């Protein structure tokens, strides 16, 4: 086993954490190698953000076209071809995949196809399919191996009835009905998409509300809007995998407030979180410390071995693509001897790409109270926003959580059309510690959906106009 080359950093995993880190390394003049066992782009590009949003968009267009007559568009017979939605999704992924490959070439980053493993403090083994086992020398190692869907014992994917998001994204035909276990972000996106495609959807959620990590008003509104789409939502319900029966579709029971309830559907989608990819990585060789199942790091993403870093889904926390990318950049800056700003999880925008969407940044109302803030909240409905009526979608609202007295913005929570595009402005306001009055004084162009933010800011002091 020859030592191939010595790099300033060897990155294991080419998802949005790893490949973005590789580009930052190149830009800082570091020699970087990237080891990827499957395809550059990772979960986000091949089994997460991009394919799910491509299908969501098809579903949204289909749902909008059903309402076409209201816009003066008459389509005599409307139908959809799911295989075409799938091939559109594949084309988008392929285009972006080529883009990431191009970026690696442009950045002169050596990409090794194979399974990477830490072999010592300064070396990484790569098991390639063509070139056998290679050893790469590494001044630093960055683990960015991501995660995979978590399944429940007894509810493992079976190629026919039981799916996780990985299998669901590959469906060639849509069933008529589906049970979704888990009302978190992924479960809600699938529920919205599949009900827009016309499926009979049931969500079974363990907690007392869907989207339990979001502000209560967001959960409530999303619940109402999904029910409006005829999605059935059972909260406080624990699915009982041992009751699963397969045959002509599936049958399963859930414990709901002390009673057993039965459910049937053609398929079941398990959306109960993600498991980090930590197996066979050689973490034990260096006694890398873990935080339960995740790799433990400090705020610069160093493990207990200072030249070994870890970022992204494999370290837990907010498992989001933009978080993985930012963590990757911070880790590389730190390796390069710079002093990067730390990531504050409170300032991370969180988006749900359902129809309509939800987006939030900062503290929820409950969190703000728990942290001891004296708060005021304000809410402005999209019903009073001209552009939302023009859009034909005036469900939802913008909610602000601000500190009483100073008016400083503590959290912004939205449900409604295109809110995932609007949350970055709210994020900027929080990064710069702006107040509701600062937002109110910012001119929001008319007619735009963003007027709802300006009005919500005015509403903090009772000065809103359009209610
Ligand atoms: C259905 C779904 C929808 C999602 N939608 C969004 C969204 O809209 N927005 C958002 O921000 N996030 C979304 N996410 C989450 C997002 O995909 C992840 O947070 C993000 O991909 C994590 O990036 P990462 O680089 O840490 O890991 P990953 O993207 O998982 O990449 C890890 C890479 O490492 C490779 N790898 C693993 N082990 C090894 C090894 N030993 N050697 C070599 N290579 C290895 C893998 O093949 C993979 O390519 C979604 C996830 C899912 C499942």
pLDDT at 131 (0 to 100): 81
pLDDT value of position 4: 72
Indicate which atom in ligand 1 lies nearest the CA of residue 53. Answer: 8
* pLDDT at residue 2, as a whole number: 59
Question: How confident is the model over 382-388, as a mean pLDDT?
Answer: 98
| pLDDT tens column, 226-251 | 999 999 999 999 999 999 999 999 99
Helical pair 82-106 and 18-27, crossing angle rounded to 10 deg: 30
The C-alpha atoms of residue 208 and residue 191 are separated, in whole angstroms, by 18
Our answer on whether the CB atom of 349 is closer than 6 Å to any ligand 1 atom is no
What pLDDT does residue 1 have? 56
Is the beta carbon of 190 within 6 A of some atom in ligand 1?
Answer: no
Helix (H) or strand (E) run with residue 425 in it: helix 419-431
**187 Cβ below 6 A of ligand 1:** no
User: Which band of pLDDT confidence, cut at 50, 70 and 90, is reported for residue 164?
Assistant: very high
Residue 278 CB less than 6 A away from ligand 1: no
* pLDDT given for residue 71 in this prediction: 96
pLDDT at 162 exceeding the cut of 90:
yes
Arch. (CATH architecture) of 162-272: 3-Layer(bba) Sandwich (3.50)
Which of 44, 52, 301 for a ligand 1 pocket mutation test, highest count of atoms within 8 Å of Cβ? 44
Q: Would you place residue 204 in the very low, low, confident or very high pLDDT band (cuts 50, 70, 90)?
A: very high
Ligand 1 nearest atom to the CA of residue 117, by list position:
41
Q: How far apart are CA 168 and CA 456, in angstroms?
A: 38
Residues 157-179, mean pLDDT to the nearest whole number: 97
Rounded to an integer, the average pLDDT of 356-376 is: 98
What is the mean predicted confidence (pLDDT) over 97-111? 97
Mean pLDDT score, 16-20: 98
Considering just the CA atoms, what is the radius of gyration of the chain in Å? Answer: 24
pLDDT of 422-442, one tens digit each?
Answer: 999 999 999 999 999 999 999
The token pair at 422 is 């609007």
Residues 245 and 264: their CA atoms lie apart, in Å, by 9
For ligand 1, whether the C-beta of 282 sits within 6 Å is no
Residue 12 CA, ligand 1 centroid: distance in Å: 12
173 by Cβ neighbours in 10 Å (0-12 / 13-18 / 19+) ranks as exposed
Evaluate: CB of 322 within 6 angstroms of ligand 1.
Answer: yes
Q: How far is it, in rounded angstroms, from Cα 431 to Cα 150?
A: 33
Ligand 1 centroid–CA 16 distance in Å is 7
Q: How far is ligand 1, taken at its centre, from the CA of residue 227, in Å?
A: 31
Domain ranges across the chain: 2-149+275-345, 162-272, 356-459
Give the residue, out of 49, 126, 351, 419, with the most ligand 1 atoms within 8 A of its beta carbon, to mutate for a pocket test. 49
Average pLDDT for 55-73: 96
State mean pLDDT over 90-95. 98
Q: Is the CB of 241 under 6 A from ligand 1?
A: no
Residue with the smallest CA separation from ligand 1 atom 7 is: 49
> Does the pLDDT of residue 3 top 80, yes or no?
no
Round to whole Å and give the CA distance between 211 and 192: 13
The answer on pLDDT for 188 being more than 70 is yes
Closest CA to 269 of 329, 193, 371: 193
pLDDT at 129: 84
pLDDT value at 128 more than 80: yes
Cβ–ligand 1 contact at 312 (below 6 Å): yes
- Res 224 pLDDT > 90: yes
Determine the pLDDT at residue 163.
Answer: 98
Q: Tell me, in angstroms, the distance from the centre of ligand 1 to residue 294's CA.
A: 14
Select which of 223, 236, 256, 446 is catalytic. Answer: 446
pLDDT, the chain, mean? 97
Ligand 1 proximity of 60 Cβ (cutoff 6 Å):
no
d(CA 82, CA 71): 24
295 to 164, 289, 302, 314: CA distances (angstroms) = 24, 7, 10, 6
Per-residue model confidence (pLDDT) at position 101: 98
* Ligand 1, atom 37, residue with closest C-alpha: 145
Q: Give domain 356-459's CATH architecture.
A: 2-Layer Sandwich (3.30)
Tell me the whole-structure pTM to 2 decimals. Answer: 0.97
> Which class in CATH covers the domain with range 2-149+275-345?
alpha beta
Statement: residue 289 has pLDDT above 80 = yes
How many residues are given for the chain?
467
Q: What percent of the chain has pLDDT over 70?
A: 99
Q: Whose CA is nearest to atom 15 of ligand 1?
A: 320
CB of 239 shorter than 6 A to ligand 1: no
CA distances to 23, 55, 165, 404 from 92, rounded to whole Å, are 22, 11, 18, 46
- 2-149+275-345 matches 162-272 in fold: yes
- How many percent of the chain have pLDDT more than 90? 97
In the residue annotation, 446 being an active-site residue is answered as yes
């Amino acid at each position: 086993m020859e030592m191939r080359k010595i790099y300033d950093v060897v990155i294991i995993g080419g998802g949005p954490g790893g490949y973005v880190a590789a580009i930052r390394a190149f830009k800082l003049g570091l020699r970087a190698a990237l080891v990827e066992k499957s395809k550059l782009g990772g979960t986000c590009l091949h089994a997460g953000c991009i394919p799910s949003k491509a299908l969501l968009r098809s579903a949204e267009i289909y749902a909008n076209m059903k309402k076409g007559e209201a816009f003066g568009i008459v389509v005599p017979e409307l139908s959809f071809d799911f295989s075409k939605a799938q091939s559109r999704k594949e084309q988008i992924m392929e285009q972006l995949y080529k883009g990431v490959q191009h970026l690696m070439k442009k950045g002169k980053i050596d990409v090794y196809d194979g399974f990477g493993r830490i072999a010592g403090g300064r070396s990484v083994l790569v098991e390639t399919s063509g070139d056998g086992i290679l050893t790469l020398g590494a001044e630093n190692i960055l683990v960015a191996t991501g995660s995979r869907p978590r399944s429940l014992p007894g509810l493992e994917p079976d190629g026919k009835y039981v799916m996780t998001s990985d299998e669901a994204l590959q469906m060639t035909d849509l069933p008529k009905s589906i049970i979704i276990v888990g009302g978190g972000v992924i479960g809600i996106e699938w529920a919205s998409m599949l009900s827009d495609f016309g499926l009979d959807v049931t969500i079974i959620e363990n907690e007392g509300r869907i989207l339990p990590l979001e502000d209560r008003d967001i959960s409530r509104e999303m619940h109402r809007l999904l029910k409006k789409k005829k999605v059935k939502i059972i909260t406080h319900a624990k699915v009982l995998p041992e009751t699963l029966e397969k045959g002509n579709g599936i049958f399963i029971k859930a414990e709901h407030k002390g009673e057993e309830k039965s459910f049937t559907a053609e398929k079941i989608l398990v959306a109960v979180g993600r498991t980090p990819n930590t197996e066979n990585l050689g973490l034990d060789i260096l006694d890398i410390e873990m935080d339960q199942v995740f790799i433990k790091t400090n705020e610069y993403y160093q493990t207990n071995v200072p030249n070994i870093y870890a970022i992204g889904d494999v370290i837990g926390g907010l498992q989001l693509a933009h978080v993985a990318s930012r963590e990757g950049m911070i880790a590389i800056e730190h390796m390069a001897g710079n002093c990067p700003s730390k990531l504050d999880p409170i300032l991370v925008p969180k988006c749900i790409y359902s129809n309509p969407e939800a987006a939030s940044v900062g503290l929820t109302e409950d969190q703000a109270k728990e942290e001891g803030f004296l708060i005021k909240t304000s809410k402005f409905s999209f019903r009073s926003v001209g552009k939302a009526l023009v859009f034909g979608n005036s469900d939802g609202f913008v909610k602000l959580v601000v500190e009483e007295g100073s008016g400083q913005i503590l959290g912004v929570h939205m449900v409604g059309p295109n809110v995932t595009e609007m949350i970055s402005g709210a994020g900027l306001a929080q990064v710069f510690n702006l107040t509701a009055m600062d937002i109110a004084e910012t001119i929001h162009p008319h007619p735009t959906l963003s007027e709802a933010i300006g009005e919500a800011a005015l509403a903090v002091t009772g000065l809103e106009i359009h209610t």
